[in-house]
Amino acid sequence: MTSLTHDLTALFHSLTPSAPVAWHAGAMLDGERLRRDVAERTAALQAHPAHDWAVFYHHGYPALVTLLALWQAGKRAWLPGNNQPATGAALAAYCQAFAGDWPNAEPLDTGAPAPLGDTHPDAELVIFTSGSNGLPKPIFKRYRELLNELNTLEAAFGAGLDDALFVGTVSHQHIYGLLFRLLWPLSAGRPLYSEAFQDPAGILRLAAQRPLVWVASPAHLKRLRDDLPWDAAKPPRAIFSSGGPLPADSASHLAAHAGVAATEVYGSSETGGIGWRRQPPDDGAWTLLPGLALTQQADHTRLASPHVDGGETALDDHLALLDEHRFRLGGRRDRIVKVEEKRIALAQVEQALADHPAVAEVRVLQPEGEQRLGAVLVLTPVGERQLEEQGRAAVTTALREHLAATLEPLAVPRRWRLVARLPETAQGKVPMAALQALFTSSRQQLPEVQDSVSDDRGVTLTLRVAAGLPWFRGHFEAQGVLPGVVQIDWAEAFGRRYFPLPAGPNHLEVIKFNNLILPGQEVHLTLDWKPATGKLAFAFHSSRGPHSSGRLAFKEPA
């Protein structure tokens, strides 16, 4: 494998001209093609006056070329998680130009290639993470810190991967996907797959043809369908997961079907990777990555790592150190809210709820504008039986009594949401906006959101169409049916929640009704917002098939 270096020229020249680098647009591109593309893009960037560039590409290879060229040209790359209009407007305060799949992207003409020289180790990349308030927070990463982390990943996980093709179901527009899908395979001389897979079945079909490394997140691995073609696929050389802990039952299910246990990687955008585990057979504890060290101080854990600026930092998570190499993960230090001027640690409430046999997963928050806590729960099979036999009120009463034995009254949630799954992004994060939405739906006369999965193309919501919703009353005497006009209203209302739709009126361009939506159903609503055309496409579907689909236009027709 390639020995990493701060000198990009050495990295490029270590690739033989015919070495496979990236599968992109239906072809495998080699080392010579990468060198030529980076050299031409570098020349175009050197000729442009902008220093800070907002970079967004749906596919990984052009993003990789642009990032390498920006660093060659001595310029700074900003890597947002999406290319929505509001994101572009926010980046315009920092970036003088946009590269990639933006409506206002700069045309970077190719010409005579620039000579590839040294990249300064302090060249920067700006990535984004959600702060404690859910708003994107910029994180500045130096090029040398990224290279240090690539060295760590190869030392920890490189053995046995050989020439496996790196594929992913996560975006490269976040630090985990960028490192694992693009930079690590390139730096170690392994090929990468440019496009992210939306369906794991495509990865398994590819695994039947050649060795793979699958870069995934809990959002995908917790929801694998039973009909995936496992039998036809060879076990991947490795499956990586990051973004949040993978539940033990999901990890066991994956290992049984895939033939290999997922390697979970713990860390953050600020710190880079910190530790890893595989369950089974691990007992749930994490192992520290090589070259890192943890020390326990009075009120926090301190990390020494070559992946962070200055070499060390205090962690936002509580860690229980088992020995110098292993630790267990607790809650975050910064999740403190005030309820009637009393400071409440949300992680403490979550841990107390997680100790109850009825609770599988939990998030506790303070609903906007309220002086009380709310809890979002996924029930265990035990909890589901209690819900079916005793009802919702009995389940939440038992949970309140459980908490009251150890927590002060203000720390006991007053509002409860029972969902099939926690809402997650494609990166496995639980977005604060989606959690808050669970407590505002009833006030806005919208159905309860059971789950949400979003990526740069749109969002899919799982909705519980309760029989008690007002639209069923009086609509057909023999059988309640959700009116079509209500479905259109829901599409717009949820569209405004997740996308920056223009204010003012819209018009319905097309609508098609396939099947009735009946009381008590669980339906999925897929929303796709196209800011360039001002159109919102929507589709309702369920296990019974499609129910309706249409398109709302927020611009006057020509």
Please say if the pLDDT value at position 12 is more than 70. no
Q: Is 421 left (phi over 0), alpha (psi -120 to 50) or beta?
A: beta
Structure tokens at 190: 């392994």
* Strand order across the 312-314 sheet: 293-296, 301-304, 312-314
Quick one: how far is CA 352 from the chain centroid?
26
pLDDT tens figures, 245-272:
888 888 999 999 999 999 999 998 889 9
Q: Does domain 424-553 have CATH number 3.10.129.10?
A: yes
Cα gap 272→311, rounded to integer Å: 12
Residue 333 CB neighbour total at 10 angstroms: 17
pLDDT tens figures, 197-226:
988 999 999 999 999 999 999 878 887 887
Helices (H) and strands (E) in the chain, counts: 15, 31
Please say if the pLDDT value at position 480 is more than 80. no
Instruction: Enumerate the β-bridge partners of residue 464.
Output: 448, 522
Per-residue pLDDT at 9: 57
Residue 341 burial class via C-beta count within 10 angstroms: exposed 0-12, middle 13-18, buried 19 and up: exposed
Please say if the pLDDT value at position 473 is more than 70. no
Task: Look at residues 513, 517, 519, 515 and name the one whose alpha carbon lies nearest to residue 470.
Answer: 519
Cα gap 279→261, rounded to integer Å: 7
Per-residue pLDDT at 505: 63
Instruction: Enumerate the β-bridge partners of residue 107.
Output: none
Task: Look at residues 271, 268, 208, 263 and name the one whose alpha carbon lies nearest to residue 243.
Answer: 268
pTM given for the model:
0.70
As annotated, the residues of the chain forming the CATH 3.30.300.30 domain(s) are 336-418
As annotated, the residues of the chain forming the CATH 3.10.129.10 domain(s) are 424-553
pLDDT tens figures, 110-169:
778 888 877 767 789 999 876 544 457 899 999 889 989 999 999 999 999 999 999 999
Cα gap 432→410, rounded to integer Å: 21
Per-residue pLDDT at 127: 94
pLDDT tens figures, 32-45:
999 999 999 999 99
Cα gap 9→31, rounded to integer Å: 12
pLDDT tens figures, 44-98:
999 999 999 999 999 999 999 999 999 999 999 999 988 888 788 889 999 999 9
Task: Look at residues 524, 358, 374, 490 and name the one whose alpha carbon lies nearest to residue 435.
Answer: 374
Q: What is the mean pLDDT of the chain?
A: 85
pLDDT tens figures, 505-523:
677 888 888 888 888 888 9
Pick the CATH number of 336-418 from 2.60.40.10, 3.30.300.30, 3.30.450.20, 3.40.50.10800: 3.30.300.30
Q: What is the DSSP letter of 409?
A: G
Alpha-carbon torsion, ordered 327, 331, 336, 337, to 10 deg: -170
Bridge-based pairing state of the strands 342-345 and 415-418: unpaired
Alpha-carbon torsion, ordered 93, 96, 102, 103, to 10 deg: 90
442 pLDDT band, cuts 50/70/90, is very low
CB 57 within 8 A of CB 151: no
**Cα three-residue angle 118-123-129, rounded to 5 degrees:** 145
Task: Look at residues 153, 119, 135, 38 and name the one whose alpha carbon lies nearest to residue 81.
Answer: 135
Q: Is 520 left (phi over 0), alpha (psi -120 to 50) or beta?
A: left
3-state secondary structure of 551: strand
Instruction: Enumerate the β-bridge partners of residue 525.
Output: 461, 540
